[in-house]
Structure 1
Amino acid sequence: MAEEGYKVTLNVYDLSNGLARQLSTSFLGKPIEAIWHTGVVVYGNEYFFGGGIQSTPAGSTPYGRPMRVVELGVTHVPREVFEDYLRDIAPRFTAETYRLLTHNCNNFSNEVAQFLVGAGIPEYILNLPSEVMSSPMGPLIMPMIQNLESTLRNNAAPQATQFVPTPASVSVPSAPDKAAVKREEPAPPPAAAEASKEAAAPASAPAPAADPLGSARGKVQEEVMREFAAIMASGTLRASEAAALAMRRVMERHGDGATMQQG
């Protein structure tokens, strides 16, 4: 398999589940196909950035079924080398370093794709932030995005999730001197040995960390939709006007970040 190479694909998801296509023209003043999330599939796993670098068996991420799969090429990079690379870049991809517009899951996928196959991911995915910010509502949305990120980093205090390699890829240097010393140590009493075993027992593996902005985005989206429905029920504004007003009201509520901290 190493001589033939490993197939590399990109799983592409729509985090809005179709809402971006339906509502973007009303909310933003221009059509947006989807809110893209991506993960790179290689060696039977999918690697993605969500609260840290995550790795799950292909097809088992929390994002469901991909909207499309893009063929990126074939890599001859051994899995062990790739996972060493992920450990090296892990400090740059944590919950604290996440930026919705400039340092997100798609930027991670693009960097990984370049390492594996020497080419990046499709431009239409990377260009989504600029598409949104160049819309008529873009300048109004920016302060809310900044407040959301600031609130999450300063108050939620998420822990950085580092990449954990598979057992087969771990290379542990030999330490014969330590092993010899350990063999010469007297065996502890039964009670102490049991307590030591309990203390050394590894904790259950944590579930992959969620997108650090996912819950906040969901709350804001729900608020905007409620405002939009209420304004449309009054029958006094067109859909585009109602959408802009709904967005403005939600932004005013979260403008200083204080309400978000209480929510």
Structure 2
Amino acid sequence: MASTSIANKREFYERDERRAMNGVDDTGYQVELFVYDLSRGLAKTMSPALLGKQIEGIWHTGVVAYGREYFFGSGGIESCRQGGTILGDPDKIEELGHSQVPYQLFLEYIFGLGEGNYKPGAYDLLKHNCNNFSDEVSQFLCGHGVPKHILQLPDEVLNTPLGQAVLPLINSLQVTVDDHAPPNHHRPGQPPY
């Protein structure tokens, strides 16, 4: 179970964060994808009846590197301690690889994304979401993206009769960021990142 994995890895994550903050990157950093099912299992159970096919979950992802979790929402790029989002512990943890990218270079990259394609307000639930962000960050850090089934989920749902029927409703929804996020959440320009 993911929560056990996080508890067992807490010391590892904290060590990586200390190494990154102190500029020690001689051995590189482990990069992981935290995967959360926003439906809490309902998508897997109800999708056959609603969509005519089964989907495993409604995925939200964050990239864990340098001891922190990085993710994208309507408020832009944020970071928190691993597993520290309002979603709690992830449902799955995927090993993405090992990165030799120095922490400072990564921060410059993240700040650039936060001022460009992933700035506050740029979020689109179907076309420009947390999973696209995780894919881009994974490409930068490890040279490959996140699993394709995660990126293809919006198209998979939209290619069903119900998906087409609810598309106008989906497009009208705005995901809001909780302004009362715990103090371990940070946005670009607000250290520590």
CA contact 1:7–1:42 (8 Å) conserved in 2? yes
Query: Would you tell me which structure has more helix in proportion to its own residues?
Result: 1
Alpha-carbon distance, 1:148 to partner: 2.1
Q: Provide the aligned C-alpha RMSD in A.
A: 2.2
CA contact 1:38–1:105 (8 Å) conserved in 2? yes
Q: Which runs of 5+ in 1 are unaligned?
A: 170-263
Residues 119/73 of structure 1: CA separation in 2 closer, same or farther (3 Å cut): same
1:145 to 2:152 alignment: no
Query: Would you tell me which structure has more strand in proportion to its own residues?
Result: 2
Equivalent residue number for residue 12 of structure 1: 35
1:106 to 2:131 alignment: yes
Equivalent residue runs for 1:71-110 within 5 Å? 71-91=95-115, 92-110=117-135
Equivalent residue runs for 1:150-165 within 5 Å? 162-164=187-189
Equivalent residue number for residue 115 of structure 1: 140
4+ long deviations beyond 3 Å: 164-167
Equivalent residue runs for 1:96-245 within 5 Å? 96-149=121-174, 162-164=187-189, 166-167=191-192
Q: Percent identity?
A: 48
What CA distance in whole angstroms lies between the structure 2 residues aligned with 1:85 and 1:54? Answer: 14
CA contact 1:87–1:162 (8 Å) conserved in 2? no
| TM-score, scaled to structure 2 | 0.77
CA contact 2:25–2:103 (8 Å) conserved in 1? no
Aligned length: 161
Alpha-carbon distance, 1:135 to partner: 1.5
CA offsets per residue over residues 43-84 of structure 1, 9 Å max, x none? 110000022101111121211111111111110111111011
Equivalent residue number for residue 66 of structure 1: 90
Q: Which runs of 5+ in 2 are unaligned?
A: 1-23, 180-185
> Which deviates the most, 81-90 or 23-32?
23-32
